[in-house]
Structure 1
Amino acid sequence: MKLLYPTSLILDPSKISSSFPTISLHPYDVQSPTIPQDHHNADILITWTNSPQNLSYAVTNLHQLKWIQSLAAGPNDVLSAGFDSSKIKITTGSGLHDRTVAEHTLGLLLVAARRFHEMRDLQNQGKWPGHLGGPQPDRPKGSFRTLRDAKVTIWGFGNIAKTLTPHLVGLGASVVGVARREGIRDGIQVYGEDKLKEVLQGTDALVMILPGDKTTRHVLNKETLSWLPNHAWVVNVGRGTSVDEDALYEALEEGSIGGAALDVFETEPLPEGNKLYGAKNLVLSPHAAGGRPQGSEELIIENLAKFVKGEELKNLI
């Protein structure tokens, strides 16, 4: 059995080979438009930051593939390349990015609440941001200035949300979730999407961690944005397609929301000259929340053991 692993991150193949001596491991360049012909008989493909050309080549030429293990949180790139999950097992790296994305999200929320972006803007202009220093009102109503007593709504309450929530609660925030199914998750009230309007109307900061598929496309749009208070901030670390960027830009320019911090966009990189670069109270982050899968070898080994035994794989789509 042959396994191809990417050179786009540091993996220790000895950890894998010591557990599965009968599986031959071979590195490959994920940015190359081709894969060497002597690897066309691979059974397993591990992917991470593969170029679209590389994945398209794999679809066309790696006919013996039985399983693709993506180290990304979702399968979008693999499916977009043309792989058919009804014919090939496809598993994701869900769980590998929980800590890094949660940390980045917390950072964006603190930037928004403490106005670090305004301080830096004025610093670059050679001006003293005096209105942001000195005595400040404590938890002013109708304003997002601190996480203490702020209502943070997390739309898309999966593993990343569960990792983020204790940090928010520790800083005094009141956290609720929104998901397809209502219930209590890790002690947090999660509302169904049928209650979205009611939840958003009382939200100080909306964190979006939604997957990218046709059901979530532009779910944050002109209508749903209008449900937010005019001081509320939007933080998106899920998928760029979940936000109608034109509607968001309009809301920012009109001041109908307090601001936004985006780590993901419909088109990446965001094209030079895009109007979002100049939007009021918008913090741009270049898809930097994840990008550091943690525990990759452990996930690969766990799924290899299941694959060899014919058991259902972890994170199978």
Structure 2
Amino acid sequence: MKILLPDTVPLDPALPEGWEAVVVDARAEIPAEHHDAAALVVWGSSRRHLASAAEHLGGLRLVQSLAAGVEGILAAGFGKDVVIAAGAGLHSATVSEHALALLLSLVRRLPESREAQQRHEWSQELGGLQPLHPEGRITTLLDARVLIWGFGQIGQTLAPTLQALGAEVRGAARSAGTRAGVEVIAEDTVLQTLPEVDSLGNNLPATEATRGVVGREVLAALPDHALLVNVGRGATVDQDALREALEAGTLGGAALDVTEPEPLPAEDPLWDAPRLLITPHAAGGRPVGADERITRNLQALEGGGEILHVAR
């Protein structure tokens, strides 16, 4: 049995007996000599690569993505008998780390400090004696009220760190309850909750239901000092509404690691919005535990066990 590994990331999974691994170009069509592959690992793979796999790998049983999102794989046309597994959880540590960095950058006003440094200016506004909780601005995570909308593995990884820094953290998901020791509210109550939120973390996936969900109504419901951090998907935010809120001063600041489209065109006015920090989809990009996930799901495939994070 053969598994095809992408050349976009170094991988060395422990394989079940009788399996062999072959590294292939993730940007090119699958070579004819590997059309007998039974499993395919996807990471940074081109549409051409996926289409070739869907067309030619007649004995394919498993497509293992190392990304949490599998929209491109689902659209490639794989047969219904092919199991498609997502890489959910492989980016929880790195994405939560980046989300924390973005939030702290906004809270501690690092972009403004960088601008002052470029002007060679020792800003009295940014330093010196300051109140802990000034009116109209959040400058510390101590007692900050943080809501993480889309409380999956990334949110559950990030929440304890925020709590350790003194924040009051709640999650929002489809149904209310408690997850990982954190109170979770139902997403249909988010709008009513937003006036009490200092920072909104957007970890939502891109679906028809979430497209543009962080729009004018949501942004208007937040306090004027509130911060928005998006490490979910760019399509979930109405970027025109976000820019308008920042320009009007009705949002304290925002940090986006994802935009719609990507890359964000150089002429897009969003670049110049005030109090906005943009990073180029840099939160993930480095799956953690990929080898172990591949091994685990191959073993499940062979033994008839449960394959983790089946997307279809």
Q: Which TM-score bucket, shorter chain as reference? A: over 0.9
Equivalences for residues 40-55 of structure 1 within 5 A:
40-55=35-50
Structure 1 gap segments, 5+ residues each? none
**Distance in 1, Cα, partners of 2:184 & 2:106:** 24
Residue 293 of structure 1 aligns to a residue whose secondary structure is coil
Q: Please state if 1:232 is matched with 2:230.
A: no
Q: 1:307 aligns with which of 276, 298, 301?
A: 301
Give SS of 1:299's match.
Answer: helix
Say whether residues 1:247 and 2:241 are aligned partners.
yes
Segments of 5+ residues of structure 2 without an aligned counterpart are none
Q: Does residue 10 of structure 1 match 2:10? A: yes
Matched, 1:30 2:26: yes
* Residues 181-211 of structure 1: per-residue CA shift (max 9 Å, x gap): 1001122110001211121111111001111
Distance 1:55 1:240 in 2: 23
- SS for the counterpart of 1:201 is helix
Measure the CA separation in 1 of the matches of 2:128 and 2:94: 33
**Residues 182-191 or 125-134, more deviating:** 125-134
Q: Distance in 2 between matches of 1:174 and 1:141?
A: 19
CA-based RMSD of the aligned residues comes to 1.3
Mapped partners of 1:302, 1:218: distance in 2:
36
Normalising by structure 1, report the TM-score.
0.94
**1:272 CA drift (Å):** 1.4
2: CA distance between counterparts of 1:125 and 1:68? 52
Aligned partners of 1:277 and 1:53: how far apart in 2?
32
Residue 212 (structure 1) aligns with: 206
TM-score normalised by length of structure 2: 0.96
Provide the C-alpha distance between the structure 2 equivalents of 1:99 and 1:224, rounded to a whole number of angstroms. 28
Offset of 1:129 from its aligned partner?
2.5
Secondary structure in 2 matching 1:117: helix
Q: Secondary structure, in 3 states, of the residue corresponding to 1:16? A: coil
The match for 2:118 is: 124
Once residues 204 and 54 of structure 2 are traced to their aligned partners in structure 1, the CA distance between those partners, rounded to angstroms, is: 27
AA of the residue aligned to 2:120? G
Q: What secondary structure does 2:229 align onto? A: strand
Instruction: Look up the equivalent residue of 2:139 and give its one-letter code.
Output: R
Equivalent in the alignment of 1:153: 147
Equivalent residue letter for 2:188: D
Aligned residue number for residue 173 of structure 1: 167
Q: Which amino acid is 1:45 matched to?
A: L
Q: One-letter code of the match for 2:263?
A: P
Counterparts of 1:222 and 1:120, CA distance in 2: 30
The residue identity in structure 2 corresponding to 1:30 is A
Aligned residue type for 2:96: A
Matched AA of 2:14: I
Count of residues paired in the alignment: 311
Residue 130 of structure 1 aligns to a residue in which SS? Answer: coil
